[in-house]
Amino acid sequence: MAFATPDQYAEMLDRAKAGGFAYPAFNVSSSQTINAVLQGLQEAGSDGILQVTTGGADYFAGHTIKNRAVGALAMADYVKRVAQSYDITVAVHTDHCPKDALDSFLLPILAASEEQFQATGAPIFHSHMWDGSAVPLDENIEIAKGLLPRTKNIGSILEIEVGVVGGEEDGVAHEGSNDALYTTVADVAQAVEALGLGENGRYISALTFGNVHGVYKPGGVKLRPELLGEIQEGIAAQFGTGPKPLDLVFHGGSGSTDEEIATAVANGVIKMNIDTDTQYAFTRAVAGYMLSNYDGVLKVDGEVGNKKQYDPRAWGKVAETAMAARVVEATKQLGSAGKSQR
């Protein structure tokens, strides 16, 4: 079955950590981008994660309606159905839910998942992100503490963010001092004191080490992935655990070097979010197609154009294949290529 069970998703994350690799998590906003991700994962022989933000969910529901909870649930239903034809295992995740979107996004989706779990024994989404990076740390952790039992009870995993990822993602923007872009051991210790280390429910942590959402060239942002190792060591020493007690997520990775990615993965990153690069791959292919087939996609000088060229399926397949190629590249960077459990 290509759509992971809760146990299979947990096994995916465990395999990544034990094997020293990470899974790519791709933001999607349409059936075309879902198909592109599945195509790329299949070609790479990699399992993976498809995720949706509040803005992406708004778009799934219809850009004039913007019922984000409905859009997210439709996304999960679509992935579950079409993934059955692929020889890889995939999971679905709700991404970046800030405080002001809890009531319109995460909480109604979680309630629907609880209802489905009662009926079938499986949640709708495999994991959910609470993005408390814009509120004080105490409040961030308190909200996470309230969500964790609910995700635990349905076999889902909670993702939290401790620190601030700079830049902007789907309307969620963070500005501030450079110091705020680097999580400290004390910040994480406060979260662990409240949430535990898995005994109260599994969670994965997006710690910040200079990350910025959006577009930047290599060297344009000062990443310190070695900080993740220092935090892992600090938490292990403080709480008396084995090495790398935290399951980590890498946000804002566009433009990162292979070395930076490898260092982050070596320090416990098991999930890396990818959005900007795949957006560009998709749209660049559309632009190239339209420029190359100008006379066919437009009715120029009274001509009729070429229906086979302006058929959305024609340029859609080109865009999906280009985006799929970027998906394959990501799986190779993270080491998940060829490691599908199917």
Convert the pLDDT of each residue in 106-126 to its tens digit.
Answer: 999 999 999 999 999 999 999
> Which of 135, 66, 122 minimizes the C-alpha distance to 92?
122
Here the tokens at position 101 are: 């979107």
Per DSSP, 83 falls in state G
Q: Would you say residue 97 has pLDDT above 50? A: yes
Q: pLDDT confidence of 174, banded at 50, 70, 90?
A: very low
In the block, tokens 């998940």 appear at 336
Is 251 among the annotated ligand-binding positions? yes
3-state secondary structure of 135: coil
Q: Which residues are catalytic?
A: 95
Is 253 among the annotated ligand-binding positions? yes
Is 254 among the annotated ligand-binding positions? yes
Is 157 among the annotated ligand-binding positions? no
Is 214 among the annotated ligand-binding positions? yes
Here the tokens at position 200 are: 């109260």
3-state secondary structure of 160: strand
CB 158 within 8 A of CB 147: yes
> Which of 323, 328, 318, 210 minimizes the C-alpha distance to 276?
323
Give pTM, 2 decimals. 0.93
Q: Would you say residue 220 has pLDDT above 60? A: no
Q: Mean pLDDT, to the nearest integer, of 192-196?
A: 98
CB 294 within 8 A of CB 300: yes
CB 88 within 8 A of CB 47: yes
How far is Cα 239 from Cα 144, in angstroms, rounded to an integer?
A: 20
Is 71 among the annotated ligand-binding positions? no
Number of Cβ atoms within 10 Å of the Cβ of 152: 17
Here the tokens at position 132 are: 């408390």
In this predicted model, which residue has the larger pLDDT, 219 or 64?
64
Number of Cβ atoms within 10 Å of the Cβ of 123: 27
Convert the pLDDT of each residue in 143-165 to its tens digit: 999 999 999 999 999 999 998 76
CB 252 within 8 A of CB 266: no
3-17, 66-80, 200-214, 277-291: which has the minimum mean pLDDT? 200-214
3-state secondary structure of 315: helix
Instruction: Kindly give the residue spans of alpha helices, DSSP state H, lying in the chain.
Output: 6-19, 31-44, 54-61, 68-82, 107-120, 137-153, 185-195, 226-239, 258-266, 276-292, 294-297, 307-310, 312-334
Is 276 among the annotated ligand-binding positions? yes
Is 63 among the annotated ligand-binding positions? no
How far is Cα 11 from Cα 4, in angstroms, rounded to an integer?
A: 10
Q: pLDDT confidence of 214, banded at 50, 70, 90?
A: low
Here the tokens at position 255 are: 């433009």
Instruction: Compute the half-sphere exposure of residue 133: CA atoms within 13 Å on the CB side of its CA.
Output: 30
* Spacing of C-alpha 40 from chain mean position: 16
CB 90 within 8 A of CB 39: no
CB 133 within 8 A of CB 164: yes
3-state secondary structure of 55: helix
Number of Cβ atoms within 10 Å of the Cβ of 158: 22
How far is Cα 164 from Cα 180, in angstroms, rounded to an integer?
A: 6
Number of Cβ atoms within 10 Å of the Cβ of 222: 11
Is 275 among the annotated ligand-binding positions? yes
Q: Would you say residue 137 has pLDDT above 70? A: yes
Here the tokens at position 306 are: 């070429």
Is 131 among the annotated ligand-binding positions? yes
